[in-house]
Structure 1
Amino acid sequence: MKIRIIGSVAAGTSVAAKARRNNEEADIRIYDRDYDISYSVCGIPYFIGEEVEDLETLNPRDAAFFKKRYNVSIQTRHEVVSINHASKTLTIKNLITGETMTDTYDVLVFATGATPLTPVMEGTELEHVFHVRTIQHAGAIDTFIESRKPKTATIIGAGYIGLEMAEQLTQLGVEVNLIQRSNQVMKHLDKDIADQIADTLQAHGVKLLLEQEAVRITKSEVVTSKGESIASDIVFLAVGVKPNTALAESIGVKIGETGAIAVNEKMQTNLPDVYAVGDVAESFSVLTGKPIYRPLGSTANKMGRIAGDVITGGTSAHRGILGTGIVRVFELAIGQTGMNEREALSYGYDIETLHNIKPARAPYLGGKELTIKAIADRATGRLLGVQAIGEEGVDKRIDVFVTAMTFGAKAEDLFHLDLAYAPPFSTTKDPVMYTGMALDNAIKKQNKLLTPKQLQERLEKGEQFQIIDTRAKTQYDTSHVSSAVNIPLAELREKAKELDPTKPTLCYCNSGVTGNAAQNVLRNMGFEDVYNLSGGNKNYQKYRK
């Protein structure tokens, strides 16, 4: 069997490695127009910021390694320029010599990846303007920084790469400007979480320019859509990527609704004996079953392994993804999985939203707070999405949520997880467990929640609330929700007699626990419509900032 793979980064090499493990006789060959194979795109910012000392660390394998270990031929700087699927023939151009050659295949795999988008504007071709996508890009950026010693940088785009580059350049002592055309960083997060990232960026000296676009780059400046001129010795384009589908389209491969190649769970396209994997291909959502596009190395490796197994007679199948991601921004870790609020509402879910602010481990051992925002479907109790942000414990909690959601967990299931506990690692009631308990209570209408956003929207519509701050007076005096009255929990049973039990009532504390206790007191006293403020005053003040 002749297996021909176009593309040799994460997905393409995974296809080849798995196919070889299954079949020693297959003739496996990979063509790639680039210089390097099987490298870590995600590690490039950390090389630029000198956390990774040697660029070769990100590119540990070469063609000779694959030939020796897997008996797989990889020909770099060889571009497949045309395909005749009827005769199963490839035309390949040697980009070094200019010569062309032909090859034939029994099975063809597109692992052509994605190309970084270049905004349409003057100046993107200038020598100080860079993408952050390949080993060649990394080397060129490193050489430029070493030789020119830039003092100012502008990053266009505030997604994963943009934020990582902002962190790394700042740590190099470069003054960083970050331009984002929407009103928040990391558009796949909800704004209340994204705003905490923005605060951290600005606290570290990053100048954040939201709701602006770069319209022109000169040798020394970037000009924005609001007419601002930003001094820039070096510029990075980080506005996203586009799947490299042109070659596949030329032979009739179907493109899905996301703009990437449509594949089934076996990574097969609409054409017989043609597969697609990695950043050029769609995945699908574990939650909805609908196509989604998430170009990540972890997903690419998984897709490649599945294709390699299927091609050689295996029974593997893709089970979908949740779109999980995590990023470090200075002292913060930010993780997310599944849907955000906007997405859940757009799919028609009636959602319950909880902000859970808890220490990641025992406070008496220095445990620091993290915020978990969790979204569940009221109709079924199923967990739909989680966002978490904090200085520690985020990765652990996100991975627990991912595992639970992958297997269809409901909010109530989280409370019953037997999670590892010891004071250096967690609290007795782990934030994951508490999230499940509080969400379940809210879904079952025992302990209704209002987010700061929902409260503000209802107040703006003219609804009247009795708002009770259950904290100590000193805390109330420092900051509180507008129009709230201060009734500490210990005084609530007596002073509740002065309140109207028929009027909508909102209780809150610092982060939610005492507010929940007050909510229970009032419910048990016959109050008809009582809410707890999700995330308490801490969350409200962050929202109102």
Structure 2
Amino acid sequence: MKKIVIVGAVAGGATVASQIRYYDKDAQIVIFDQDETMSYAACGMPYVIGGEITDSSSLLAATPEEFKKEKNIDVRLKHRVISINRELKVVEVLNLDTQQSFEESYDVLILSPGGTPIIPKTPGLESSNMFTLRNFNDMEKIKHYIKTEQPKSCVIVGAGFIGLEMAENLVNLGLNVSIVEKSQQVMNIMDVDSSALVEKELLAHGVKLFKGNFITKANGQHLDLDLGEKIQADFILMSVGVSPSTELAEKAQLAIGETRGIVTNEYLQTNDLSIYAIGDAAENIDFITGDAKRVPLAWPAHRQAYIVARHITGDNIPFKGLLGTSICKVFTQSVATTGLNEKTLTDRHMNFKSLTQKSNSNAGYYPDHEKIFLKIHYDAATRKVLGAQVVGGKGVDKRIDVLSTAIYAGLTMDDLQALELAYAPPYSTPKDPVNMAGYKAK
């Protein structure tokens, strides 16, 4: 009987355990996680804070008791794995309640440790009410603070996915929200023109933007910015990004890559073939270029979990790489991206062309229609689609998914013309915006 030990019990860890059990009814499976909750929907946390989701417990997909009863998987929360002995195939585990440590043996070890919020070193930051939003407990702390202290203002540091989702939800709670972003644009994974549409939406809803800026000093509610502005906020939400939690892997001398993630092969194995890595801390490759890539989002973690489970149980399905397909709601607009952006294509000296397409989401005569901005990059020689961004009021998810599928399938701009996409006035136009982009590329 194979013994499998898993570090981390959220998206990657809980999913890989369930998948392994589906294919192997006899394996002994043990999961360790240092937090108090497991298998929660982290992507829903901003909407719980904003009151859009009223029951925070609805984010909890499972409990240790349910995993034990329904799947015979042993989940031990508030247990931190502190070292790996690769030669003996044992991990050292610290029980955070008792502070007692013990050893657990394994045949296969799966690392799904996630990431740690990045908190810039800022003089005086300890004098401010500062929060991060990484786990269920963080969410509950922010909720409690807002309910009991009834703050009027917040500064969000970082204009990525979490920062923008939190901006919307805090504005909806009636707070004055400012965003401080070190780069010159919000959502800097997008091209400048796509980002400008997101910025316009934020400003239209009263969010103040301080781009190319960062906090140099904090004194309680008073914050000094690098470009000289002085702003005030009842609390700070640090949303700068996530650093992969690789300390355990580094101590065990597992290879760490250029993205600072744990290097994995096409089956998510590390340089020790009995140890796998998945989720936010795992470094994979870009689907298009083959370059090192790390995408700390839910879809990669779930896909990687499936591939690891199949590999452990005897079916070799390779992981083909990451496109980084993602979508974010920003007030009335949806913002989505897939594949390579303009900066990456330019930095790699790739021979590419770009086009933009402005369309209605569906029939203009139908009362419920919105504007869509679509941008596509494609190979100048082969005309294969390399990347896309879509911003609009509705139908954005449909278009980005079609374009992500087109990249995966190796389709060209000319193929986009020929895609037979669903049409009725409430949903699209006779020639969908994706079709129109294909015709425009001619």
Secondary structure of the corresponding residue to residue 263 of structure 2: coil
Partners in 1 of 2:128 and 2:193 — Cα distance?
A: 38
Matched with 1:59 is 60
Partners in 2 of 1:90 and 1:126 — Cα distance?
A: 38
Q: Give 2:381's aligned amino acid.
A: A
Partners in 2 of 1:73 and 1:394 — Cα distance?
A: 41
**Structure 1: tracts of 5 or more residues without a match:** 442-545
Partners in 1 of 2:317 and 2:70 — Cα distance?
A: 23
Partners in 1 of 2:168 and 2:412 — Cα distance?
A: 36
- Does structure 1 residue 431 correspond to structure 2 residue 433? yes
Matched with 2:89 is 88
Matched with 1:243 is 244
Matched with 1:378 is 380
Secondary structure of the corresponding residue to residue 363 of structure 1: coil
Partners in 2 of 1:64 and 1:127 — Cα distance?
A: 39
Deviations along 1:441-477, one digit per CA (max 9) or x if unpaired, are 1xxxxxxxxxxxxxxxxxxxxxxxxxxxxxxxxxxxx
Relative to structure 1, is the Cα distance of residues 188 and 87 closer, same or farther in structure 2, using a 3 angstrom cutoff? same
Contact 1:154–1:222 under 8 Å retained in 2 = no
Matched with 1:394 is 396
Following superposition, which runs of at least 4 residues in structure 1 exceed 3 angstroms of deviation?
A: 123-127
Q: Which has the higher contact order (CA 8 A, sep 6+)?
A: 2
Contact 2:128–2:218 under 8 Å retained in 1 = no
Matched with 1:160 is 161
Contact 1:118–1:124 under 8 Å retained in 2 = no
Contact 1:7–1:30 under 8 Å retained in 2 = yes
Partners in 2 of 1:328 and 1:86 — Cα distance?
A: 47
Q: Give 1:308's aligned amino acid.
A: A
1:204-243 matches, cutoff 5 A: 204-243=205-244
Matched with 1:104 is 105
TM-score by length of 2: 0.98
- Displacement after TM superposition at 1:251 (Å): 1.2
Partners in 1 of 2:397 and 2:315 — Cα distance?
A: 33
Matched with 1:40 is 41
Could you tell me which of 363, 368, 371 is aligned with 1:369? 371
- Does structure 1 residue 130 correspond to structure 2 residue 131? yes
**Structure 2: tracts of 5 or more residues without a match:** none
- Does structure 1 residue 28 correspond to structure 2 residue 29? yes
Partners in 2 of 1:414 and 1:3 — Cα distance?
A: 45
Partners in 1 of 2:17 and 2:124 — Cα distance?
A: 40
1:320-359 matches, cutoff 5 A: 320-359=321-360
Decide which moves more: 297-306 or 147-156: 297-306
Decide which moves more: 219-228 or 389-398: 219-228
Relative to structure 1, is the Cα distance of residues 277 and 93 closer, same or farther in structure 2, using a 3 angstrom cutoff? same
- Displacement after TM superposition at 1:91 (Å): 1.2
Secondary structure of the corresponding residue to residue 373 of structure 2: strand
Deviations along 1:131-172, one digit per CA (max 9) or x if unpaired, are 011000000000000000000100000000110111100010
- Displacement after TM superposition at 1:127 (Å): 6.3
Secondary structure of the corresponding residue to residue 215 of structure 1: strand
Deviations along 1:510-532, one digit per CA (max 9) or x if unpaired, are xxxxxxxxxxxxxxxxxxxxxxx
Contact 2:423–2:430 under 8 Å retained in 1 = yes
Partners in 2 of 1:124 and 1:294 — Cα distance?
A: 29
Q: Which has the larger radius of gyration?
A: 1
Secondary structure of the corresponding residue to residue 141 of structure 1: helix
Secondary structure of the corresponding residue to residue 151 of structure 2: coil
Deviations along 1:330-381, one digit per CA (max 9) or x if unpaired, are 0010111011111112222222111100111000003221010111111110
Contact 1:14–1:308 under 8 Å retained in 2 = no
TM-score by length of 1: 0.79
Partners in 1 of 2:307 and 2:77 — Cα distance?
A: 24
Matched with 2:73 is 72
1:453-532 matches, cutoff 5 A: none
Partners in 2 of 1:300 and 1:69 — Cα distance?
A: 23
Matched with 1:273 is 274
- Displacement after TM superposition at 1:315 (Å): 2.2
Partners in 2 of 1:210 and 1:318 — Cα distance?
A: 37
Matched with 1:407 is 409
Matched with 2:188 is 187
- Displacement after TM superposition at 1:78 (Å): 0.5
Relative to structure 1, is the Cα distance of residues 231 and 127 closer, same or farther in structure 2, using a 3 angstrom cutoff? closer
- Displacement after TM superposition at 1:256 (Å): 1.3
Deviations along 1:379-424, one digit per CA (max 9) or x if unpaired, are 1101111111110111100000011110111110000011111111
Percent identity among equivalent residues? 38
Partners in 2 of 1:327 and 1:181 — Cα distance?
A: 20
Matched with 2:203 is 202
Deviations along 1:165-191, one digit per CA (max 9) or x if unpaired, are 111000100000100111100111011
Partners in 2 of 1:168 and 1:177 — Cα distance?
A: 13
Partners in 2 of 1:277 and 1:171 — Cα distance?
A: 35
Q: Give 1:106's aligned amino acid.
A: D
Contact 2:132–2:238 under 8 Å retained in 1 = yes
Partners in 1 of 2:232 and 2:291 — Cα distance?
A: 44
- Displacement after TM superposition at 1:434 (Å): 0.7
- Does structure 1 residue 308 correspond to structure 2 residue 309? yes
Cα RMSD of the aligned pairs, angstroms, is 1.1
Matched with 1:541 is none
Matched with 1:116 is 117
Secondary structure of the corresponding residue to residue 103 of structure 2: strand
Contact 1:260–1:281 under 8 Å retained in 2 = yes
Secondary structure of the corresponding residue to residue 123 of structure 2: coil
Q: Give 1:401's aligned amino acid.
A: L
Q: Give 1:388's aligned amino acid.
A: V
